[in-house]
Amino acid sequence: MYSLLADSHTHTERGFQDPGSIYQPIQQDLVEVKNWLKSVSEVEFTQLSEMLDHSLRGGGKLIRPALVLLSGKFYDYNRERLLPMATAAELFHIATLVHDDAVDSSVVRHWRPTINKIWGADKAILLGDYLFAQAAELAHITRNLRVIRLSSQTLMTISSGELNQAFNAFNLEQSYEDYLGRIASKTASLFAMATESGAVLSRAPEKSVKILKEYGYNLGIAFQIVDDLLDFISTEEEMGKPIGSDLTQGTLTLPAMFILQRYPEDNPIKRLFENRDKQENIQLALELVRNSSIVQDCYSVASDYCTKACHNLNRLPDNPLRQTLTELADYIVSRNR
């Protein structure tokens, strides 16, 4: 059905590092990004202000704005251009979460009720639209047509990936390449937008723009693979949302593909997707992954993409930011949420 990587590097255990220490070179500007995000909710329409405030206080890790700023550090670090784009990258991300939760009828995100749980799915979708529009407005502040166009293209790519996932819910006939294409659209495209826009806005030469774009893309693939694995092996307390939600929605992720590959005749994924014993089969699938080498194998694939992400960083200007990007890649495959 699909060909999975069989010779991936061995994943080494690391401590779950706080990304805040990695962000030290841009710490003050990330504070400014938080201030920009806070200002987004300062609107006169009371209910909209409350919804914005709720969605923007989700406690995210700010990886996407950090990527914009870190990528901009290699050349002309112009805060007037980079701060609006860094904020736009986070708004893009938050908007996708608001829409995802509405589409999936999710009730908890980051340990808090979702927008659709409190205000309803219809209003959540409209709020997501508002956040996307606000992100576009911030991208426009950069006055860089390439970055503005990149923002629009990324939104189209993300939407395409979400539609792909929706149309293929509970579909067992998906290849490993199909999976990679979907997570490239849904997740890696936004990571790549962050690093490419940071490089472009800092007036990096084209070869450096390409290196940083590829770094963001491969980092995004690794991030999503780990995210998909954590949906099997983490806990609701750690993740701040229910575990096994991908299986509940019929989304075929890498751990589930490994189960199908190793137990082709009869397994809980097949039974679940055939609409049999939903909760029982989800629990069996979670246990099957947790008690097998599938955990190690998924981390190995993610580690390979992190290695690929960092492969050409030595071609960037020789400064400590190269090590910072490497540490961020290490964090991606060692996080527990």
pLDDT band, residue 239 (cuts 50/70/90): confident
Q: What DSSP character marks residue 315? A: G
Strand, coil or helix: 170: coil
Domain segments of the chain as ranges: 20-332
- Kindly state the greatest CA–CA separation across the chain: 59
pLDDT tens digits for 160-180?
999 999 999 999 999 999 999
Q: What's the DSSP call for residue 266?
A: S
Q: Residues near 101 by Cβ (< 8 Å), separated by ≥ 6?
A: 109, 114, 115, 116, 117, 124
Residue 110 has pLDDT above 90, yes or no: no
Give the ranges where the chain is alpha helix by DSSP (H). Answer: 19-22, 27-40, 46-56, 63-72, 79-104, 115-119, 121-141, 145-167, 176-183, 189-201, 206-233, 236-239, 245-248, 254-262, 268-273, 278-290, 294-310, 321-332
**How wide is the angle at C-alpha 279 spanned by C-alphas 278 and 280, nearest 5°?**
95
pLDDT bin (cut points 50, 70, 90) of residue 277 is confident
CB half-sphere exposure, 319, CA atoms < 13 A: 10
CATH number for 20-332 (one of 3.40.50.510, 1.10.600.10, 3.90.1150.10, 3.30.2130.10): it is 1.10.600.10
Q: Residue 6 has what pLDDT?
A: 38
pLDDT at residue 18, rounded to an integer:
64
Enter the pTM of the model. 0.93
Scan for tokens 């792909």, then name that residue.
Answer: 164
